Amino acid sequence: MALAEYAEAFVAWRYLYRRRHSRAVMIVTLVALLSLIATQVAFFAFGQAQVGAILTIPTALVFVVFLLLNFFSVFTTVSIIGVILGVAALTVVLSVTSGFQQSFQQKVLGVNAHILVLKYGQDFTEYRSVMEKAASEPHVKAVAPFLFNPMMISRGPQTSGLVVKGIDTKLSPGVLDIADKLTDGKMADLDVALAPSDGGAPLPAIFLGKELAKKLKAKIGDRVRVLAPKSELDPKEWTPDGLGKGNQPTLREFRVAGIFYSGFDEYDRRLAYVTLKEAQAFYPLGDTVTGVEMKLDDVDAAADVAHRLESDLGGTPFKVIDWEYLNHNLFTALRMQKVALVIFLTLIILVAAFNIVAAMTMLVVDKTKEIAILKSMGMRAAAIARVFQIAGLTIGAAGTAAGLALGVLLCAVVERYGYKLDAQVYLIDRLPVQVNPLELVLTAGITLAICFLATVYPSLKAAWLEPVEGLRYE
């Protein structure tokens, strides 16, 4: 192709390109590159976590700054650095918020089903027929009954409130990832009654969350006592003086047969598993359950399946809830937080865009004579405008590319380092990171759009310049 077809891009590059090379800048660039490589090798290959976490950002920034100075002027480099910082910050924040969303979803679905079928009242005895209907629905892979009851647990002087979940040891493993969460013991142990470590008659088994076991100072084989507040919930038995014969709590002993770690602090501190039969034994209500839970082959289809199943069951007294509805407040808060952070961090890119406006305006002033010469040689005003638009977009593209690279590098460092969080505050114990390619594309698109808008005024200023004004004092 003829060079004339690339004239606008060629002129734009000539305006931005730094024709004088500094040996000192090149040497510093090389040293910074070697330092960055050494830092990452020490971090990723040899596990020097502190080195990588502390030195990655400064070494990467020094390398990028001096690399840019090899090609661009100081003023242009400052404009690019502004874009880099904004894009890198937005990339890291989006990745961390996506990590929180994914982590919470994995933790929630690890110990909760995709869909729950509940019934108003205490008489959910027809759960087997409900399970048959649920199993016939599309996308349903497994179905199991469960029983939830709030109780108290103690071992010696240590006590704690908890929720005891009764599960079917044959059906529930198909719905929940309990076996994968066990750090001690195995799933089959929940069905086995053995004597506790302090001797005595065999006791039914119980699985405790890791933090709950730590609070109780309990380990495999230890005896624990579980207290149900009321053993009778039938309102017919209530009297003006109390709850009648059901006002006495039920105390039962269990042997710790397994300890699980879900990574979700609320579950690890307050959840325990027993067999469905043992959970039912606390309350003389017969063969009743709290609900039926199911696992799907596509979690995104949960809302549609739940709506269809509720229609099949005839609605009230049944209530069908999908996993996202059950955790609506949590995931809504995460989405709102993500949107707010994107809006605020986009302001950094807007500030960088003003640097581009200033850089392009100064470039127009500096190249006034050359613009006049180009116009006098026949270059149209639209072509002159495109020259400065290309120059501005070059700054934006360079900053976007370097910012994305820096942001992804920082995400890799954060994920590798595994920054610890207070699980009681954040519900999870490590800072999660999930780099989403679509979000990277979105970040790049937003940045380039802002950079393009930043070139409008300088390019119009250059296009409107009269040749006689540029050559008046020549």
The tens digit of pLDDT for each residue in 44-95 reads 666 656 666 677 788 888 888 888 888 888 888 888 888 898 899 889 888 8
> Using 50, 70 and 90 to split pLDDT, how confident is the model at 239?
low
pLDDT of 1 > 50? The answer is no
- What is the tens place of the pLDDT at every residue in 306-325? 888 888 888 788 888 888 77
Q: Rounded to the nearest 5°, which phi and psi values hold at 356?
A: -65, -40
3-state secondary structure of 223: strand
Cis peptide, bond prior to residue 317, ω within 30 of zero: yes
Give percent of the chain above pLDDT 70. 87
Mean pLDDT for the chain overall: 82
- Model confidence at 385, pLDDT cuts 50, 70, 90, reads confident
Residues 6+ apart with CB under 8 A from 200: 223
* Average pLDDT, integer, range 420-445: 79
Tell me, what DSSP letter sits at residue 243?
Answer: S
pLDDT score of 405 more than 50: yes
Residues 85 and 71: their CA atoms lie apart, in Å, by: 19
Whether the pLDDT of residue 367 is over 80: the answer is no
Residues 6 or more apart in contact with residue 138 via CB below 8 angstroms: 301, 305
Sign of CA dihedral 159, 164, 169, 175: negative
pLDDT band at 220 (very low <50, low <70, confident <90, very high): very high
pLDDT class for 244, splitting at 50, 70, 90? very low
pTM of the predicted structure, to 2 decimals: 0.69
Question: What is the number of residues in the chain?
Answer: 474
144, 174 in Cβ contact below 8 A? Answer: yes
* Cα–Cα dist 398/356, whole Å: 12
Q: Which residue, chain included where needed, has tokens 């027929």? A: 129
Average pLDDT over residues 206-227: 92
Q: Are 452 and 388 in contact (CB under 8 A)?
A: no
What pLDDT sits at residue 274?
A: 94
Q: Is the pLDDT of residue 237 over 60?
A: no
The amino acid sitting at 123 is D
Q: Is the pLDDT of residue 2 over 50?
A: no
Instruction: State both tokens at 392.
Output: 């501005």
CB 165 within 8 A of CB 291: no
Using pLDDT thresholds of 50, 70 and 90, give the confidence band for residue 36.
confident
Across residues 446-456, what is the average pLDDT?
Answer: 89
Is the pLDDT at 272 greater than 90? The verdict is: yes
Q: Half-sphere exposure of 370 toward its Cβ, with a 13 Å CA cutoff?
A: 12
Average pLDDT over residues 445-464: 87
Tokens 């240590």 belong to 158
Of 407, 388, 319, the closest CA to residue 14 belongs to: 388
Quickly state the pLDDT bin for 427 (edges 50, 70, 90): low
The tokens 């195995």 sit on which residue? 186
Sign of the C-alpha dihedral computed for residues 25, 26, 31 and 35 taken in this order? positive
Helix residue ranges per DSSP H, 72-137: 74-111, 127-135
